[in-house]
Chains A and B, each alone.
Chain A
């Protein structure tokens, strides 16, 4: 799952650094992800994982790291399964 998340980030996060150089816990916003890029990341994740983020999950913390995104996706899958 983390590889797929990283793929989405490399396509949509528009980071000034290579996603591969970031640790799973590194803060993506501090790494240069803008709020608009985070929208694209959200849409890219929805496309890649066939899910939809509800408004209750639209918080900065949901998209702040690879690990946080993984946690959110696991949660979403558990409630929609």
Chain B
């Protein structure tokens, strides 16, 4: 693989597992894994919320697979799925995740998520553009 090759990460999550975690651990689970923005975006009936949360968890894990941490893995909340006013979702990296992306020369990131039939999946693709700072691409275009 050359430095210019895109990196791809994929992850699959059982939605019932996420629903079970929310039911068992409640806020402690939500606040440990998801940001305030993500929690606000995943309101609604429990089964609907669990699907949205599961897709976001899959996005975080897919991003981890792209970042390939050697040891300590970034806190889940440093990888955020941002829902834009258009409804499209983008990744925003902060803290340790953003630092790792810079160290690896990765970014910007492209995200696709889906959930159906009890499963949620996410695919993350990263280019190797220099100067990436973790900001969602579409937000940068709005600057």
Classify the secondary structure of A's interface with B: helix
Number of B positions contacting A (CB below 8 A): 23
Is the CB of B75 closer than 8 A to any CB of chain A?
A: yes
Is the CB of A30 closer than 8 A to any CB of chain B?
A: no
The answer on a CB contact under 8 Å between A43 and B14 is: no
CA–CA, A57 and B75, complex, Å = 10
Cβ contacts under 8 Å, A79 to chain B: none
Is the CB of A14 closer than 8 A to any CB of chain B?
A: yes
* Interface set, chain B 56-105, CB cutoff 8 A to A: 57, 61, 64, 69, 71-76, 96
The answer on a CB contact under 8 Å between A37 and B17 is: yes
Offer 9 A-B interface pairs, CB within 8 angstroms, sorted by A. Answer: A36-B13, A36-B57, A39-B29, A43-B29, A47-B25, A57-B72, A58-B73, A58-B75, A59-B69
